[in-house]
Amino acid sequence: MVSNRRYLALVAIWCFCQPQIARCESIVGLFSTGVDDVGKVLLDGQVDLHYEIDGGFLPSYAIAKAPAWAEPPANASWIGPSSSTENDPVRTYSYTTSFILNGFDPDTATITGNWATDNDAHIYLNGLYTGNSKDIFGYETLAPFSITKGFVPGLNVLEIRVNNYPSARDNPTALLLSDVEGHAAPVPEPHSWSLLLASITALTWRRGCASNA
Ligand SMILES: [Ca+2]
């Protein structure tokens, strides 16, 4: 027969494991580039409503890939400040998208995906550099990125700063993000604490029954 002390320990472990069992819930509102709200790839020239450039100063357009760029997967498209792969001014372009982390523990949040950029680029979260970078040939390879810190409760802003380098040839700039996923653990719900309290109450009742026997 399980002792009262061991019974309580098992119940406590079970209760506190509930948030862990609930891990890996998806963060809503994260999208690859060049898709609509249901993940359908946009036609070339259509505006991507999930990513704006320079704080909304410019829209981002889905564009066909330039010859030197990495091939986009079937679930994403290149986007850029122009509706075609024409020359773009040499400067830094700030692509931003936002999402809400209400109900999640920010310390458990992660975002993963793949990216390619023309030209070099860095990823920031809420204004802080995440450690993810691309060099001037960032357009050649669709490579993985991972963000594991810098999340805050409520509104979060994901920013990709892309530099368009000077070039004597055709010089477009663009960004490709694919397979973008976010996950986080929900904050512990009062439900778990209620279970623990109910179990302690049950244990007290068991002790009362035992002493009356
Ligand atoms: Ca370029």
Model confidence over 8-47: pLDDT tens digits?
455 445 545 454 445 679 999 999 999 999 999 999 999 9
How many Å lie between the centroid of ligand 1 and the Cα of residue 165? 5
How many Å lie between the centroid of ligand 1 and the Cα of residue 146? 24
Whether the per-residue pLDDT at 207 is higher than 70: the answer is no
All structural domains of the chain with their residue ranges: 1-22+187-213, 27-185
Cross-strand pairs, 129: 124
How many Å lie between the centroid of ligand 1 and the Cα of residue 51? 19
Residue 60: phi and psi, rounded to 5, are: -110, 135
pLDDT tens sequence across 38-82 = 999 999 999 999 999 999 999 999 999 999 999 999 999 999 999
pLDDT at 181 (0 to 100): 97
Helix (H, G, I), strand (E, B) or coil at 141: coil
Find out whether 176 and 115 touch, Cβ atoms under 8 Å: yes
Whether the per-residue pLDDT at 135 is higher than 50: the answer is yes
How many Å lie between the centroid of ligand 1 and the Cα of residue 107? 36
- What's the rounded Cα separation, in Å, for the pair 142 and 78? 11
CATH superfamily ID and name for 27-185: Galactose-binding domain-like (2.60.120.260)
Cβ neighbourhood burial of 5 (10 Å; 0-12, 13-18, 19+): exposed
- What's the rounded Cα separation, in Å, for the pair 200 and 155? 38
Find out whether 80 and 88 touch, Cβ atoms under 8 Å: yes
- What's the rounded Cα separation, in Å, for the pair 112 and 117? 16
